[in-house]
Amino acid sequence: MILIWLILIPLIGGLAGWLLSYWGPAWPRWVALLAMLLQLVIVVELWVLYGHTVIPTANGPWLARVSYPWIPSLGIRFQLSLDGLSLLLIVLTAFLGVVSVIVSWKSIQQRVGFFHLNLLFVLAGIVGVFLATDLFLFYFFWELMLVPMFFLIDIWGHENRHYAAIKFFLFTQLSGLLMLLSILGLVFAHGHATHVYTFDYFQLLGTPLPGAIAPWLMLGFFVAFAVKLPAVPLHTWLPDAHTEAPTAGSVILAGLLLKTGAYGLIRFVLPLFPHEAQAFAPVAMTLAVIGIIYGAVLAFAQTDVKRLVAYTSISHLGFVLLGIFAWNALALQGALMQMLAHGISTGALFALVGALQDRLHTRDLRRMGGLWSSIPILGGAILLFSLASLGLPGLGNFVGEFLILLGTWPVNNVFTIIAAIGMIFALVYSLWMVQQALLGQPREEWHIADLHARDITVMGVMIAVIVWLGLLPQPIFNTAEPALRRVSEYGSMGVGEYGSVRVWEYGLIRKDNLKSALTPILPYAHTPIPPHADKGDA
């Protein structure tokens, strides 16, 4: 029942705040804050009590599960499950939910009740995505996130908010429809093989799929998650959405919504399609390293500081995509740590950039410079989270990127080297942003206030979290280890049980292996895998 309450609390808080807004704008703020604080207390207590305890089942370790019939005639259940992976991401969701409410305290003055309704509904949808283990229910929550986020951008965004909101909705909605088609195809394939039609994630694992349609079903899931991640070339909605969204919207987008794409890859693409995902891995990893370099180069070219931070997300989440498809224990641990650390560091940067914009009424780096003397606390926070973003040792991002590179090296050392070059680029654009905005001679006469006590408290907590992730990451790994170990086992299954051709050898992708990796996504050119194909572990 506690899993249901994790979704109901933000829903009830959003509705209550909206209704109480008729009594004054302070009511929705306090109700939303209390709701998210309650959510945070519950999930942290769950982590403390059960983070190292698992319920052994045939389908892997789970901390809690609820399942009720919903539409029995179609095999649809209201089924929620919690393991270490989803628990950590829900803790992040509750924490950034509190941050989003606080950073909107003064900046949102119009339709305050409706704003917090949409904000908390987005958070409820995100929690539902992290918990749902019925694929129809998962798709329901996946779509639930879109509408309130559309309103957050379209109503409370900046100059080009209508264009950005429509672009965001079209990209995510159309890719979501591809995932729905893949879900239905998987369900019908399972029904054809077993005469049982169900959307139950656990029953769909290991479904025998015809070779002609399996790659297409995998691609439907992959595209939906790659759009949300975002992966190049499906990323173009992100800079506009981040730039035009209000500060809280940018925090939720960077810190949480993008993580649903990475979570989907780990939870659904790898376990449901181990053979197809193994064959597609070289393509996915190629897109990952392209995204790492592309995002870093484009970030350096920006003069809009918010757009600059948006492009850094494309680069940093390229590391996540690389680690997921490297598909071993180290890389998966690194991908999870990068997801959590990026959520904190980039969420904080968007909050700080929003505070800077509220004071300067501009995001143009060319008008800034020499601000440190006026806002030393805000400037110091920007510097610290910029250092986290570039992967400074001792902060959480370094742990994630280091483990990803360590896990990717035995899989493909060329990709590892290119990704490491991306870290050098991150050093350049991060320090360039700090120099342009905070140091040097002032380009204009700015007389602005520093952070207030409320903002200092929020930033202090976020600094403590990012330092803790960098210095003591082992509790994160202990909590997620059973879930990630299960995912890594599917990597071995993708080669051994299903007999796929090894697509990497000695760390280098050869032309003939790359051809075999691309063949499954071109079913008309597919040739049967010979019985003597390599059975080695990935």
Write out the chain's pLDDT in tens, 538 residues: 789 999 999 999 999 999 998 898 899 999 999 999 999 999 999 998 876 555 555 455 788 899 999 999 888 999 999 999 999 999 999 999 999 999 999 888 889 999 999 999 999 999 999 999 999 999 999 999 999 999 999 999 888 899 999 999 999 999 999 999 999 999 999 898 888 899 999 999 888 888 788 899 999 999 999 999 889 898 889 999 988 999 999 999 999 999 999 999 999 999 999 989 999 999 999 999 999 999 999 998 888 899 999 999 999 999 999 999 998 889 999 999 999 999 999 999 999 999 998 888 888 888 888 888 888 999 899 999 999 998 899 999 999 999 999 999 999 999 999 999 999 998 888 888 888 888 877 777 777 888 888 999 999 999 999 999 999 999 999 899 888 888 887 765 544 332 232 322 223 333 343 344 344 333 323 333 333 333 333 3
Segments making up each domain of the chain, as ranges: 273-538
How is residue 117 written in tokens?
């309704």
Report which of 95, 179, 106, 168 is spatially closest to residue 140, judged by C-alpha positions: 179
Question: In angstroms, what CA-CA distances link 443 with 62, 208, 305, 361, 439?
Answer: 56, 65, 16, 15, 11
pLDDT at 511: 36
Dihedrals φ, ψ of 51, to 5°? -60, -25
Separation of alpha carbons 86 and 131, rounded Å: 7
Measured between its terminal Cα atoms, the distance across the chain in Å is: 39
pLDDT at 53: 57
DSSP 455-521: HHHHHHHHHHHHHHHHH--HHHHHHHHHHHHHHHHHHHHHHHTT-PPP--BTTB--HHHHHHHHGGG
pLDDT at 27: 93
Q: Is 364 helix (H, G, I), strand (E, B) or coil?
A: strand
Q: Are the C-beta atoms of 341 and 400 separated by less than 8 Å?
A: yes
- Helices (runs of H) and strands (runs of E) counted in the chain: 22, 2
Separation of alpha carbons 469 and 345, rounded Å: 11
Separation of alpha carbons 190 and 214, rounded Å: 12
Q: What angle do CA 486, 492, 495 make, to 5 degrees?
A: 145
The amino acid sitting at 208 is P
Report which of 192, 91, 81 is spatially closest to residue 138, judged by C-alpha positions: 81
How is residue 134 written in tokens?
């019925």
Over its C-alpha atoms, the chain yields an Rg (Å, rounded) of 23
Strands (DSSP E) found in 60-124: 64-71, 76-82
Give Cα 495 to chain centroid, integer Å.
27
Separation of alpha carbons 382 and 112, rounded Å: 28
Containing H/E element for 313?
helix 305-326
